[in-house]
Amino acid sequence: MNDTMKVRRLFVRRPAKLAWLLALTALAGLGTGAEAAGISGAGATFPYPIYAKWAQEYKAATGVALNYQSIGSGGGIRQIERGTVDFGASDKPLTAEELDKKGLVQFPMIVGGVLPVVNVKGIAAGQLRLDGPTLAKIYLGEIKTWNDPALRALNPGLSLPDQAISPIYRADGSGTTFIFTHYLSEASDTWKQKVGAGTAVAWPVGVGGKGNEGVTSYVSRIPGGIGYVEHVYAFENHLAHVLLKNDQGDFVAPSREAFAAAAAGADWAAAPGFYLLLTNQHGEGSWPITGASFILMHRQQAKPEVARQALAFFDWSYRKGAGMATGLDYVPIPETVVDQIETSWTSHVVDSSGTPIWQGAP
């Protein structure tokens, strides 16, 4: 499959809102000369839509191209460990101990939501109510049909069909899976004991799709299907998202405002290595499966100038890309947190002599 085809596979359909992706060459690393000598990254599919938009606009502004491979968080972690890319991207943050062991630094880049989505006869977006324990039972295979008594109890007055449930999950190593399974582990002791949280787990039931794209495709095509995808994939492909019961006991709809409510209480300053999870956050209107996507880089850089270019891209994305992020329903990192992140760059990203690489925006 060539690079243009990979870009075309980002979404199952071709929504007009993101039609620019189909013509995007900077992200796919097409071209020669200076373009080929740009910034390289790999990892999470969760932030790929906004990274694509930032890459397009940044190249227009600076001439510097970004080649980002949307291969999943697990792949991004492996690639940065091997040194085959300038940065990795993961929705599963590494602990401070893991970062020290691997010689890496990490920082949050963007916040968004993971959405359970369904393909149930007669059920439109925002009609079906679920809570964490019930969602866990579906993925454990304990609830097998859409008219199960547990689902009817959560949805009085909603006509639920006698239709088999087909759980769909990510088949690749995925930070989206980590966020989702971490949420299920918080909601269900049975899930925590039997399956647990991870970028890849031993799913009790269901079928796996590769990437957010694969899960989106399967949910669209399989009657009775339920899956979980990053919010842009759900919204742009018009999948039927559910309402989820949050920590406040309210059933909420997914939205940028709901993701922001979950992120509002995040204390990044007190998080070693910026390790922080945003599932089940307390707050009115908060979406319970919210997560941040993180950038991973080596502490000591063998190619200081390339690392400086990468940090300049991230600085530009923070400072000038917030409006683009909100346009895709992501939550930008607050300016005060950006200041903390960039301060950390000056002491934690260095060249072989220990000299800080980041000296501020060009």
Q: CATH number for 3-112+291-348: choose from 3.40.50.1820, 3.20.20.100, 3.40.190.10, 3.30.465.10.
A: 3.40.190.10
**C-alpha distance from residue 135 to each of 28, 40, 104, 176, 212 (Å):** 36, 37, 35, 16, 19
Are the beta carbons of 113 and 289 closer than 8 angstroms?
yes
Q: Which helix (H) or strand (E) holds 108?
A: strand 104-119
Residues 238 and 219: their CA atoms lie apart, in Å, by 11
Give the pLDDT score at 20: 38
Give the pLDDT score at 119: 98
Question: Domain ranges in the chain?
Answer: 3-112+291-348, 113-265
201 three-state secondary structure: coil
Are the beta carbons of 130 and 64 closer than 8 angstroms?
no
Give the pLDDT score at 14: 37
Give the pLDDT score at 37: 58
Closest CA to 167 of 121, 207, 217, 210: 207
154 three-state secondary structure: helix
Are the beta carbons of 349 and 357 closer than 8 angstroms?
yes
Give the pLDDT score at 18: 42
Residues 153 and 134: their CA atoms lie apart, in Å, by 11
For 113-265, CATH gives: 3.40.190.10
Are the beta carbons of 181 and 98 closer than 8 angstroms?
no
pLDDT tens sequence across 44-93: 999 999 999 999 999 999 999 999 999 999 999 999 999 999 999 999 99
Residues of the chain with pLDDT under 50: 1-36
User: Do 113-265 and 3-112+291-348 have the same topology in CATH?
Assistant: yes
